[in-house]
Amino acid sequence: MIGRLNHVAIAVPDLEAAAAQYRTTLGADVGPAQDEPDHGVRVVFITLPNTKIELLYPLNDASPIMGFLAKNPSGGIHHMCYEVDDILAARDRLLADGARVLGDSTPKIGAHGKPVLFLHPKDFNGCLIELEQV
């Protein structure tokens, strides 16, 4: 069902400093910051030859990233995103197998302009999983 790894998301306490570190220290291809109000985050994507890194920063005090950073003040890996061909078919299969889809199970449009869903970390070895339709 899942395809390639689309990105690994890292919550960061300082988006500009993290982006600069990837750009200057690691020599990575760092994209511009973009606000994702539907998800409560400001993101920067770093393009690698085989995947992407997504830096996440809270867009406001209601952002789900605020709680993560409160528990992990230095930041850390927040989620992994896998590609799927058909997000509704993937959702239906996961729900039938007993997995929990966060929210109301309706896909939202993600940072790449494509439908996404998040799966409960307790169902996947403590890792928050994002599925993105390609």
Query: 56 in helix, strand or coil?
Result: strand
Q: Find residue 81's DSSP bridge partners.
A: 7, 130
Query: Structural domain of residue 73, as residue ranges?
Result: 5-133
Summarised one tens digit per residue, pLDDT across range 4-40 is 999 999 999 999 999 999 999 999 999 999 999 999 9
pLDDT of residue 60: 94
CATH code (residue 24): 3.10.180.10
Phi, psi torsion values for 132, nearest 5 degrees: -125, 130
Q: What is the pLDDT of residue 86?
A: 98
The whole-number pLDDT of residue 122 equals 97
Q: Residue 90 is encoded by which pair of tokens? A: 């993937």
Whether residue 91 contacts residue 97, with contact meaning beta carbons closer than 8 Å, is answered with: no
Q: Is the pTM of this model over 0.85?
A: yes
One-letter amino acid at 27 equals: G
Beta bridge partners of 11: 56, 76
To the query of whether residue 130 is one of the catalytic residues in this protein, the response is yes
Q: Comparing C-alpha atoms, which of 9, 70, 71 is closest to residue 41?
A: 9
Active-site residue, selected from the candidate residues 54, 83, 130, 132 = 130
Number of domains forming the structure of the chain: 1
Q: What is the pLDDT of residues 80-130, one digit of tens each?
A: 999 999 999 999 999 999 999 999 999 999 999 999 999 999 999 999 999
Two tokens, residue 6: 């689309």
